[in-house]
Amino acid sequence: MFTSKKDYLSAKIIDHRAMSENVRRMWLEAPTISTMAVPGQFVNIYVANRAKILPRPISICEIDRERGRISLVYRVGGEDTGTLEISRLRPGERLNILGPLGNGFPITNKSAMLVGGGIGIPPMYALSREIYEIFGQKSLCVLGYKGEGGVMYRDFQKMNNVFVSTEDGSIGTKGTVIDAIEAFDLEAEIIYACGPMPMLSEIKKLAIKRDVKAYVSLDSRMGCGVGVCLSCTVDREMPDPISGQDRVRICTEGPVFEVREVNI
Amino acid sequence: MFTSKKDYLSAKIIDHRAMSENVRRMWLEAPTISTMAVPGQFVNIYVANRAKILPRPISICEIDRERGRISLVYRVGGEDTGTLEISRLRPGERLNILGPLGNGFPITNKSAMLVGGGIGIPPMYALSREIYEIFGQKSLCVLGYKGEGGVMYRDFQKMNNVFVSTEDGSIGTKGTVIDAIEAFDLEAEIIYACGPMPMLSEIKKLAIKRDVKAYVSLDSRMGCGVGVCLSCTVDREMPDPISGQDRVRICTEGPVFEVREVNI
Amino acid sequence: MNMNVSIAGIDWKNPVTVASGTFGSGKEYSDFFDLSLLGAVTTKGVSFSPWKGNPTPRIAETCGGVINSIGLQNPGVEYFLKQDLPFLAGYNTNVIVNICGHTVPEYVEVARCLSEEEDVDYLELNVSCPNVSEGGIAFGTDEQKLKEVIADVKRVSKKPLIVKLSPNVTDIVRMAQIAESEGADALSMVNTFMAAKIDVDSRSFILANKTGGLSGPAIHPIVVRMVYETARVVNIPIIAMGGVMSGRDAIEFILAGATAVAVGTASFRYPKAARQVIEEIREYMFRYNVDDIRQLIGQVRD
Amino acid sequence: MNMNVSIAGIDWKNPVTVASGTFGSGKEYSDFFDLSLLGAVTTKGVSFSPWKGNPTPRIAETCGGVINSIGLQNPGVEYFLKQDLPFLAGYNTNVIVNICGHTVPEYVEVARCLSEEEDVDYLELNVSCPNVSEGGIAFGTDEQKLKEVIADVKRVSKKPLIVKLSPNVTDIVRMAQIAESEGADALSMVNTFMAAKIDVDSRSFILANKTGGLSGPAIHPIVVRMVYETARVVNIPIIAMGGVMSGRDAIEFILAGATAVAVGTASFRYPKAARQVIEEIREYMFRYNVDDIRQLIGQVRD
Ligand SMILES: Cc1cc2nc3c(=O)[nH]c(=O)nc-3n(C[C@H](O)[C@H](O)[C@H](O)COP(=O)(O)OP(=O)(O)OC[C@H]3O[C@@H](n4cnc5c(N)ncnc54)[C@H](O)[C@@H]3O)c2cc1C
Ligand SMILES: Cc1cc2nc3c(=O)[nH]c(=O)nc-3n(C[C@H](O)[C@H](O)[C@H](O)COP(=O)(O)OP(=O)(O)OC[C@H]3O[C@@H](n4cnc5c(N)ncnc54)[C@H](O)[C@@H]3O)c2cc1C
Ligand SMILES: Cc1cc2nc3c(=O)[nH]c(=O)nc-3n(C[C@H](O)[C@H](O)[C@H](O)COP(=O)(O)O)c2cc1C
Ligand SMILES: Cc1cc2nc3c(=O)[nH]c(=O)nc-3n(C[C@H](O)[C@H](O)[C@H](O)COP(=O)(O)O)c2cc1C
Ligand code: FES
Ligand code: FES
């Protein structure tokens, strides 16, 4: 009777391994979520320790609808963080999660440029796969890393044209993703991006300058992830024409926004 | 330089299994503790969850000095208790403990009666073994259970003369350990006891009536287990002749007291 | 088995509501369970005109707690009446509308509007709002201001008035007595504790607003004490809140003297937390053969 | 790297002491580490004549917290001077003696005795003791009583006086200002929060005394806020305590404005907690290239 489009479940961990020193990939058995999810959506992960109350919002990185699984790629925080506790879970153990949450990226058959920075890279992977699977189309992917040993680089190469920037210049263009975009004069009819806020602000400028649509996934500290607590709101550029509201919830109306909608 | 007679360590769990529905036995690798410990002493167990701050004091049940191991037999509490979390640990995992703590039972070659009630039974086991090993002497052991399925009954039988009471009369004498002692007219030159407070009060009366020494191990909620917080104090019958103090710490001067010393 | 309680003459089918601001307007969690299962629904804070709230980040986690500085973002009473109230009216439960204001007249205005609404069952006066006339000091920490705001709102309110006390006071019993004598029909105890968290790596506060209100299990034992002390001296019912994560936490409040409890922060961890608390209270009553929840109110051994 | 701080003209080799009542008289933990590593040792509460304390059980656990109702059991100042002080004097650290009394004259008496002792470096005035002349209300929650006890003790004390504030007040900044203006040389912030825990199975309080004081990480964020607010207005140093479990917790207090911190409840979980906090502060300074700890005091970004 109360069928939510969000599934709360104790998901079995199928696989859990390190991708780099402090990034891990976890495959979870989550049949309902895998059926419903689209790239850009996220799940809430709950830490078993009852003293850690808030959810950890983590983007869905891969969706294996056939086997009813999703993967999450996440950064393991320092001492006493929730992600550190999560990182210790072994395959066969279970994790409480809720999802899929948020809106996800709108997909079109336009030529797409996917821009990911740091831990914003994993959600772009689901998107690039989806675009490839639906439209048979390779995307331009621009991945920004701190230095060598950046995660998922090889995964992306399978079905995309990949460009890389590193802060230290160890591989690809030295500098930011914007530097890489400019260095190679990369162009596309639509931009998707996820990464740190300064990067997203640059994407906004770029999108306006080039007059193309850009969908960005925003980060925020969240209380609930489902729209009740208003922890995660961001200013709209203009009040919503229907409700008159001038702030939107990243967890519910987002995390993906067309850059012109939000004041970032 | 700062060699404490108490060892704080992350002890490896060698074996961990259920003895009854809610009682478990855990063998821990704790070489220093096993060397130093005597029956009646206890260890502090610390729950990994940082929100559960206080130690769980648990008596040492068996001491395997040769292999550097100790066993603990403990009752698993209900929802959200620390012992429930501890009960989920698997062999190979580690547990922070501190011990040995407290004074332990004074051992003599007098004919001994060991009285254990409920979860007070495990510490009596270490004592009965010690008496047997040192003096080659079987003890009279009176074990009080709620009903059938009481733990360690068979272990005790190997080197003791065992009498049992059950509240429901399912095995042994129906009633308390005192009822069993009276029913069989059990006598000894010295009594040792551990169990719920009403039982210990009865032991006190018995010891006074029979004019024998009785050493009882007292329970208390503890803050530190090492004598700093004064959570666990109990009234002396008389102020200490030297210090003039009229309360003693169960964790440090106890947990074992001659019944006449303390106001129970 | 009876779980019914009565607060200011209105029946609740069980003693469980949700805490203001942790349940939105009810819509979101109605995806997870039937709101009609609740004794009452409590809305987020509603002010007369829209409030923007504080800058983000607005939430932080601490050991056993959560600090929030939402700052009462809300679209104002008009929007509430059009968009949220009709939705709640569709459920068979009581509706408590939490109200806030920056000045006494603002409180009075919103109370007046809501009083006209059939579907509103109670007003809950949040006295932790920053009192702009007094430089931001909350109404709930100043005896004189507390009196004034209650008396003025009470004068216009046609609904039973629940006063939600702030715990950031030396003597909460006294504040409760003031509320009672100014005409409060019930008390909500308590709002959040003023707190802060600093990120030592960036050396800055985690909340943009620097400080915020602490909720969750960390504060539960302090609130148990406050409810216990207050219930012994006031004659109006208490709705207790602060870290109710389970039925047992709720029973603690009831034994201490609360007539009902609210589930707040717990919903962030488990969307069906409020429903689960109701089930666990029922299990407790079953296990201990309690056939009327009212037999537990204030029944902690003295 | 300098970890030295100075409080009331006395040097501490690092900004870490232990919280009164959680470290006994020092003897017990001296088995675990060298007390000379500490900036200062703080003793348990010492009263003029022996106090029996409260009935047991005296301690309970909550989520992230501990509630205690020891009730200041102690053998009195004479015993302290004979048995405990000489032991502490053997270490190269500062000695803070925490003092308590049921009446102002009791405080004055114990302060007078201790003032004569060379090995006592500071008196720490615990104003959370039940004021028997006023029916048990703590001195620390009443402005007038607070003034009086500080002024009278200050008059006889030949040692720098640290006033240990109670957090159970509406406006701790005001209490701090009162302490400062009555002559306090430093502040300890804070004592425990009044709380209670009920065992729902037996329907009785876990503590024999019913209520007790909450300490531990649960309260840390509330105290961070209090220290931050207070440090901005007083000119005497603050020793902060409340849930310091790690170096990071300590750094939070220091960034908020504390000159030193005390490790309390953490020692119950790990006997070497205080030493570990010192090491972790050192690691933090090393990682972030802080060559003087004083560069961190109050340096949270505004
Ligand atoms: C929509 C969305 C998608 C995300 N996707 C990913 C992803 O795919 N992979 C990934 O590694 N990270 C992702 N993040 C960031 C991730 O949520 C945080 O890194 C994580 O919550 C930090 O938790 P912790 O246990 O390590 O830190 P703790 O310090 O223990 O966290 C304490 C609290 O702060 C919150 N918090 C701390 N840092 C952040 C942050 N940067 N953003 C949001 N909340 C934070 C935590 O959720 C928690 O509530 C995403 C964030 C959002 C909002
Ligand atoms: C000297 C001594 C020896 C003991 N030996 C044993 C033993 O061998 N086997 C065994 O099963 N139990 C023993 N106990 C009792 C044991 O300490 C408690 O059952 C246990 O601490 C309960 O913890 P919990 O995590 O289940 O409960 P929780 O409810 O999670 O505990 C909360 C807090 O209360 C304390 N607490 C709760 N109940 C008790 C209690 N009955 N006694 C003391 N503290 C309590 C806990 O230590 C903890 O600090 C002993 C107690 C003492 C004092
Ligand atoms: C995110 C958030 C928003 C809140 N908003 C309000 C509010 O609008 N009005 C109010 O009176 N209390 C508000 N509160 C306080 C809660 O209603 C409740 O009193 C407090 O959180 C303690 O309960 P808990 O520990 O169960 O959350 C809010 C609390 C949180 C965590
Ligand atoms: C068991 C115990 C006993 C205490 N005894 C005293 C005392 O004698 N005098 C005092 O001023 N504070 C006393 N306190 C309070 C602590 O010194 C400290 O202020 C408080 O516990 C907060 O710090 P923490 O969270 O690090 O423990 C006691 C605290 C505990 C837990
Ligand atoms: S996180 Fe609660 S509304 Fe978005
Ligand atoms: S438990 Fe701390 S003194 Fe005994």
Residues 38 to 77 of C: which have CB under 8 A from any D CB? 62-65, 67
- Taking residues B85-113, what's their average pLDDT? 94
Q: How far is D241 from chain A (nearest CA, A)?
A: 20
Residue by residue, DSSP assigns C38-76 as SSEEEPPPB-SS-B--PPSP-EEEETTEEEE-----B--
Active site includes D100?
no
- For C95, the token pair is 């509706």
Instruction: Name the residue among B50, B79, B80 with its Cβ closest to that of C63.
Output: B50
D91 touches chain B (CB under 8 A): no
pLDDT at A243: 74
- Report the residue of chain A nearest C27, measured CA to CA: A228
Percent of chain C with pLDDT over 90: 95
pLDDT at A187: 86
pLDDT at B4: 54
Write the CB contacts of B25 (distance below 8 Å, at least 6 apart in sequence).
Answer: B15, B16, B17, B19, B61, B71, B72, B73
Q: Which residues of B touch D70 (CB under 8 A)?
A: 229-231
C19 Cβ inside 6 Å of ligand 3 = yes
pLDDT at A237: 92
Beta strands per DSSP E along chain C? 5-7, 10-12, 16-18, 40-42, 59-62, 65-68, 94-99, 122-126, 161-165, 186-189, 193-196, 198-199, 204-205, 211-215, 238-241, 260-263
Question: Taking CB atoms and an 8 Å limit, are C65 and D62 in contact across chains?
Answer: no
- Other chains touching A, judged by 3 or more CB pairs under 8 Å: B, C, D
- Report the residue of chain D nearest C302, measured CA to CA: D204
Q: Which residues of D touch A79 (CB under 8 A)?
A: 246, 248
Residue in the block written with tokens 């100075």? D6
Cα separation, B102 vs B260, whole angstroms:
19
Look at residues D90, A50, B210, D14 and name the one whose alpha carbon lies nearest to residue C270.
Answer: A50
Band (pLDDT 50/70/90 cuts) for residue A2 is: very low
Q: Is the confidence at residue D139, as pLDDT, over 50? A: yes
Q: Is the confidence at residue D173, as pLDDT, over 90? A: yes
Helices (H) and strands (E) in chain B, counts: 6, 15
Residue by residue, DSSP assigns C147-190 as HHHHHHHHHH--S-EEEEE-S-SS-HHHHHHHHHHTT-SEEEE-
Pocket test of ligand 6: the residue of B41, B56, B224 to mutate, having most ligand atoms within 8 Å of its CB, is B224
Bridge-partner residues for B56, per DSSP? B45
Q: Is the confidence at residue A3, as pLDDT, over 50? A: no
**To the nearest whole number, what is the mean pLDDT of chain A?**
92
Q: Whose CA is nearest to atom 45 of ligand 1?
A: A221
C68 Cβ inside 6 Å of ligand 3 = yes
Q: How far is A1 from chain C (nearest CA, A)?
A: 9
Ligand nearest to the CA of B60: 2
pLDDT digits (tens, 9 = 90+) for C24-61: 989 999 999 999 999 999 999 999 999 999 999 999 99
Q: Is the confidence at residue A183, as pLDDT, over 90? A: no
Q: Is the confidence at residue A229, as pLDDT, over 50? A: yes
pLDDT at C50: 93
Return the higher-pLDDT residue of C134 and C109. Answer: C109
Decide if A18 contacts A152 (C-beta within 8 A): no
pLDDT digits (tens, 9 = 90+) for A113-131: 999 999 999 989 999 999 9
**To the nearest whole number, what is the mean pLDDT of chain B?**
92
Cα separation, B53 vs C203, whole angstroms:
27
Write the CB contacts of A13 (distance below 8 Å, at least 6 apart in sequence).
Answer: A26, A27, A28, A29, A89, A90, A91, A92, A93, A94, A95
CA dihedral A253, A255, A258, A259 (to 10 degrees): 120
D93 touches chain B (CB under 8 A): no
Q: Is the confidence at residue B252, as pLDDT, over 60? A: yes
C97 Cβ inside 6 Å of ligand 3 = no
Instruction: Name the residue among D63, D246, D248 with its Cβ closest to that of A50.
Output: D63
Lowest-confidence range among A74-88, A125-139, C95-109, D37-51?
Answer: A125-139
Q: How far is C226 from chain D (nearest CA, A)?
A: 8
- Taking residues B71-93, what's their average pLDDT? 95
In ligand 1, the atom with minimum distance to the C-alpha of A223 is: 49
Lowest-confidence range among A107-121, A144-158, C256-270, D102-116?
Answer: A144-158
Band (pLDDT 50/70/90 cuts) for residue B241 is: confident
In ligand 5, the atom with minimum distance to the C-alpha of A57 is: 1
pLDDT digits (tens, 9 = 90+) for C104-130: 999 999 999 999 999 999 999 999 887
Question: Taking CB atoms and an 8 Å limit, are C64 and B79 in contact across chains?
Answer: no
Instruction: Name the residue among D203, D204, D218 with its Cβ closest to that of C65.
Output: D218
- Other chains touching B, judged by 3 or more CB pairs under 8 Å: A, C, D
ipTM of the complex: 0.96
Q: Whose CA is nearest to atom 23 of ligand 3?
A: C242
pLDDT digits (tens, 9 = 90+) for A20-55: 889 999 999 999 999 999 999 999 999 999 999 999
In ligand 2, the atom with minimum distance to the C-alpha of B80 is: 30
Bridge-partner residues for C214, per DSSP? C67, C193
